[in-house]
Amino acid sequence: MPNIGEEICGEYLKYILKCDFVSYNITHPDTQGEMDVIGIQLAQKAIYVCEVVTHTQGLEYVTKGKSNDYNVLKAKYERGITYAQKYFKDYQIRLMLWSPVVRVNTPKAKYNTMNELKRLQEDLPLDIEFVINFRYQQALDKLKAHAIKQTAMFTTPVMRMFQIEGNLQNHLEKLRKKGVEEYK
Protein backbone atom coordinates (compact mmCIF):
# COMPACT_ATOMS: atom_id res chain seq x y z
CA MET A 1 0.00 0.00 0.00
CA PRO A 2 1.47 3.36 -0.96
CA ASN A 3 2.11 6.08 1.59
CA ILE A 4 0.60 9.53 1.03
CA GLY A 5 3.62 10.87 -0.87
CA GLU A 6 3.75 7.84 -3.14
CA GLU A 7 0.04 8.21 -3.82
CA ILE A 8 0.50 11.87 -4.79
CA CYS A 9 3.31 10.91 -7.17
CA GLY A 10 1.30 8.03 -8.64
CA GLU A 11 -1.80 10.14 -9.16
CA TYR A 12 0.32 12.76 -10.92
CA LEU A 13 1.74 10.08 -13.21
CA LYS A 14 -1.77 8.78 -13.90
CA TYR A 15 -3.77 11.97 -14.35
CA ILE A 16 -1.25 14.63 -15.38
CA LEU A 17 1.39 12.64 -17.28
CA LYS A 18 -1.23 10.16 -18.56
CA CYS A 19 0.62 6.97 -17.64
CA ASP A 20 -1.32 3.85 -18.60
CA PHE A 21 -0.05 1.89 -15.61
CA VAL A 22 1.16 3.01 -12.20
CA SER A 23 2.55 0.62 -9.61
CA TYR A 24 3.84 1.12 -6.09
CA ASN A 25 6.66 -0.38 -4.03
CA ILE A 26 8.02 -2.64 -6.74
CA THR A 27 10.70 -5.01 -5.56
CA HIS A 28 13.50 -5.72 -7.99
CA PRO A 29 13.65 -9.51 -8.40
CA ASP A 30 17.45 -9.51 -8.72
CA THR A 31 18.42 -7.16 -5.89
CA GLN A 32 17.26 -6.08 -2.47
CA GLY A 33 15.32 -2.87 -2.16
CA GLU A 34 12.32 -1.42 -3.89
CA MET A 35 11.30 1.33 -6.24
CA ASP A 36 8.64 3.59 -4.76
CA VAL A 37 6.56 4.36 -7.84
CA ILE A 38 6.75 3.26 -11.47
CA GLY A 39 4.63 4.79 -14.24
CA ILE A 40 4.41 3.43 -17.78
CA GLN A 41 3.29 5.23 -20.93
CA LEU A 42 2.74 2.51 -23.52
CA ALA A 43 2.35 4.60 -26.69
CA GLN A 44 5.33 6.81 -25.85
CA LYS A 45 7.35 3.81 -24.65
CA ALA A 46 8.39 5.66 -21.50
CA ILE A 47 8.86 4.41 -17.96
CA TYR A 48 9.02 6.73 -14.97
CA VAL A 49 11.13 5.49 -12.06
CA CYS A 50 10.25 7.61 -9.03
CA GLU A 51 11.83 7.88 -5.61
CA VAL A 52 9.46 9.51 -3.13
CA VAL A 53 10.72 11.02 0.13
CA THR A 54 7.91 12.56 2.15
CA HIS A 55 9.86 13.97 5.08
CA THR A 56 8.28 17.21 6.25
CA GLN A 57 11.50 18.47 7.83
CA GLY A 58 13.62 18.00 4.74
CA LEU A 59 15.17 15.30 2.63
CA GLU A 60 17.73 13.55 4.76
CA TYR A 61 18.72 9.92 4.79
CA VAL A 62 21.02 9.18 7.70
CA THR A 63 23.41 6.24 8.05
CA LYS A 64 25.37 5.77 11.27
CA GLY A 65 24.55 9.31 12.38
CA LYS A 66 25.71 10.97 9.15
CA SER A 67 23.73 12.41 6.26
CA ASN A 68 23.78 9.94 3.42
CA ASP A 69 21.33 11.24 0.79
CA TYR A 70 23.74 10.80 -2.09
CA ASN A 71 24.62 7.15 -1.47
CA VAL A 72 21.09 6.04 -0.62
CA LEU A 73 19.51 7.77 -3.61
CA LYS A 74 22.26 6.69 -5.99
CA ALA A 75 21.77 3.04 -5.02
CA LYS A 76 17.99 3.34 -5.40
CA TYR A 77 18.23 4.93 -8.84
CA GLU A 78 20.84 2.44 -10.03
CA ARG A 79 18.46 -0.39 -9.06
CA GLY A 80 15.61 1.38 -10.84
CA ILE A 81 17.66 1.92 -13.99
CA THR A 82 18.76 -1.73 -14.00
CA TYR A 83 15.15 -2.87 -13.58
CA ALA A 84 13.87 -0.62 -16.37
CA GLN A 85 16.67 -1.59 -18.75
CA LYS A 86 16.03 -5.29 -18.14
CA TYR A 87 12.23 -5.36 -18.34
CA PHE A 88 11.54 -2.34 -20.58
CA LYS A 89 14.38 -2.57 -23.09
CA ASP A 90 13.04 -0.18 -25.74
CA TYR A 91 11.57 2.34 -23.30
CA GLN A 92 12.85 5.80 -22.47
CA ILE A 93 13.71 5.83 -18.76
CA ARG A 94 12.74 8.95 -16.84
CA LEU A 95 13.89 9.39 -13.26
CA MET A 96 11.98 11.54 -10.79
CA LEU A 97 12.60 12.57 -7.19
CA TRP A 98 9.50 13.65 -5.27
CA SER A 99 10.00 15.45 -1.97
CA PRO A 100 7.92 18.34 -0.59
CA VAL A 101 10.72 19.80 1.51
CA VAL A 102 14.34 19.94 0.40
CA ARG A 103 16.36 22.43 2.39
CA VAL A 104 18.51 24.94 0.57
CA ASN A 105 21.45 25.52 2.88
CA THR A 106 23.97 28.32 2.80
CA PRO A 107 27.07 27.59 0.71
CA LYS A 108 29.19 27.37 3.89
CA ALA A 109 26.96 24.77 5.56
CA LYS A 110 28.71 21.58 6.65
CA TYR A 111 26.16 19.52 4.73
CA ASN A 112 24.24 20.86 1.75
CA THR A 113 21.39 18.72 0.43
CA MET A 114 21.12 20.61 -2.85
CA ASN A 115 24.82 20.06 -3.54
CA GLU A 116 24.32 16.34 -2.95
CA LEU A 117 21.42 16.29 -5.42
CA LYS A 118 23.54 18.12 -8.00
CA ARG A 119 26.32 15.58 -7.49
CA LEU A 120 23.81 12.76 -7.87
CA GLN A 121 22.56 14.30 -11.12
CA GLU A 122 26.13 14.49 -12.44
CA ASP A 123 27.02 10.91 -11.49
CA LEU A 124 23.97 9.09 -12.84
CA PRO A 125 23.75 8.22 -16.54
CA LEU A 126 20.24 9.73 -16.82
CA ASP A 127 18.77 13.07 -15.77
CA ILE A 128 16.58 13.27 -12.70
CA GLU A 129 13.50 15.46 -12.72
CA PHE A 130 13.33 17.03 -9.27
CA VAL A 131 9.76 17.53 -8.09
CA ILE A 132 10.73 19.34 -4.92
CA ASN A 133 9.79 22.51 -3.05
CA PHE A 134 8.02 24.87 -5.50
CA ARG A 135 7.69 22.20 -8.21
CA TYR A 136 6.07 19.87 -5.66
CA GLN A 137 3.52 22.59 -4.88
CA GLN A 138 2.92 23.07 -8.61
CA ALA A 139 2.30 19.33 -8.97
CA LEU A 140 -0.22 19.46 -6.10
CA ASP A 141 -1.93 22.44 -7.74
CA LYS A 142 -2.22 20.56 -11.05
CA LEU A 143 -3.75 17.56 -9.29
CA LYS A 144 -6.21 19.80 -7.44
CA ALA A 145 -7.21 21.57 -10.67
CA HIS A 146 -7.77 18.21 -12.36
CA ALA A 147 -9.78 16.85 -9.42
CA ILE A 148 -12.11 19.87 -9.32
CA LYS A 149 -13.09 19.36 -12.97
CA GLN A 150 -14.18 15.76 -12.43
CA THR A 151 -17.71 14.87 -11.39
CA ALA A 152 -17.16 11.15 -10.82
CA MET A 153 -15.90 10.18 -7.38
CA PHE A 154 -12.21 9.33 -7.19
CA THR A 155 -11.20 6.05 -5.59
CA THR A 156 -7.96 7.27 -4.02
CA PRO A 157 -8.05 9.33 -0.82
CA VAL A 158 -5.69 12.01 -2.16
CA MET A 159 -7.70 12.79 -5.26
CA ARG A 160 -11.02 12.54 -3.43
CA MET A 161 -9.75 15.01 -0.82
CA PHE A 162 -8.62 17.43 -3.57
CA GLN A 163 -12.01 17.04 -5.24
CA ILE A 164 -13.95 17.72 -2.03
CA GLU A 165 -11.72 20.63 -1.02
CA GLY A 166 -11.89 22.26 -4.46
CA ASN A 167 -15.64 21.91 -4.75
CA LEU A 168 -16.12 23.20 -1.21
CA GLN A 169 -14.03 26.28 -2.01
CA ASN A 170 -16.08 26.93 -5.16
CA HIS A 171 -19.34 26.47 -3.23
CA LEU A 172 -18.27 28.79 -0.41
CA GLU A 173 -17.25 31.47 -2.89
CA LYS A 174 -20.71 31.33 -4.46
CA LEU A 175 -22.30 31.63 -1.01
CA ARG A 176 -20.12 34.65 -0.16
CA LYS A 177 -21.16 36.37 -3.40
CA LYS A 178 -24.81 35.82 -2.41
CA GLY A 179 -24.13 37.28 1.03
CA VAL A 180 -24.89 34.01 2.82
CA GLU A 181 -23.23 33.71 6.20
CA GLU A 182 -22.50 30.55 8.12
CA TYR A 183 -25.17 29.46 10.58
CA LYS A 184 -24.07 29.88 14.15
Q: Which residue has the higher pLDDT, 112 or 13?
A: 13
Q: Could you write out the DSSP letters of every residue in 107-164?
A: TT-SS-HHHHHHHHHHHSSS-EEEEEHHHHHHHHHHHHHHHHH--SPPSSHHHHHHHH
**Residues whose CB falls within 8 Å of the CB of residue 10, separated by 6 or more in sequence, listed in order:** 2, 22, 24, 37, 39
User: In this predicted model, what pLDDT tens digit does every residue of 43-100 receive, in sequence order?
Assistant: 999 999 999 999 888 887 777 777 888 999 999 999 999 999 999 999 999 999 999 9
* pLDDT at residue number 48: 98
* pLDDT given for residue 141 in this prediction: 97
Looking at domain 4-178, does it have CATH number 3.40.1350? yes
What pLDDT, in 10s, does the model give residues 104-157?
877 777 778 888 899 999 999 999 999 999 999 999 999 999 999 998 989 999
Cα gap 63→71, rounded to integer Å: 10
Domain boundaries, the chain: 4-178
pTM of the full structure: 0.90
Whether residue 184 is predicted with pLDDT greater than 60 in this model: the reply is no
**What pLDDT is stored for residue 183 in this prediction?**
64
Per-residue confidence (pLDDT) for residue 110, from 0 to 100 = 77
